[in-house]
Structure 1
Amino acid sequence: MTFKPKTKEFTSTAGNEYTFQNVPNSKQAEIIDIGTGLQGKILNSRMMPQMLEHVVVVPSGLKMDEFETWEELEEVTTAAFNFLRTGQ
């Protein structure tokens, strides 16, 4: 089987629109390894940039500090992570 990326449109509570795209399983494993600590706990300072770089494709190149609030940053990156894991 060949990997075929899926996308999903997401609108935050603040009304901003984003497009998510999944990645191949090997890249997903790499992202999870980078973004989790020794006990398997997600480390926000590492996982959020991974979601913004590899999963949030529109707008591209987002950085954590470009979000007006922590609430929206957390909402978007959590939704991106859930999409990465489930494809939904």
Structure 2
Amino acid sequence: MAFTAKTKEYTSEAGNQYTFQNVPNSKQAEIMDKGTGLYGKVLNSNMMPLMLENVVVVPNGLTMDEFETWEELEEVTNAAFNFLRTGK
């Protein structure tokens, strides 16, 4: 069975809209390897940029510093990570 990209619309608590898109399993494995440290602990400084680069497709090209608050950055990247892992 071939990979078919899925998308999800997401609205943050602040009312900002984002579109998530999943990636092929090989890319997901690469993201997990780069974004986690010893014993699989998620490293925010690695994982957050990977979520913004690979999963958040609208708006495109977001960086961590473009978010007004840490709270929204964390909310959006956590939601993107959950979507990447579950497709929901």
TM-score range, shorter chain: over 0.9
What's 1:38 paired with?
38
Give 5+ residue unaligned stretches, structure 2.
none
Q: Which contiguous aligned blocks of 4+ residues in structure 1 show a shift greater than 4 angstroms?
A: none
TM-score by length of 1: 0.99
Partner of residue 59, structure 1: 59
How far apart are 1:39 and its partner, in Å?
Answer: 1.6
1:21 aligns with 2:44: no
1:45 is paired with a residue whose SS is helix
- Percent identity over the alignment? 81
Unaligned runs of 5+ in 1: none
Aligned length: 88
- Is 1:6 matched up with 2:6? yes
Question: What value does the CA root-mean-square deviation take over the aligned residues?
Answer: 0.3
Normalised by the length of structure 2, the TM-score is 0.99
Q: Does 1:87 align with 2:59?
A: no
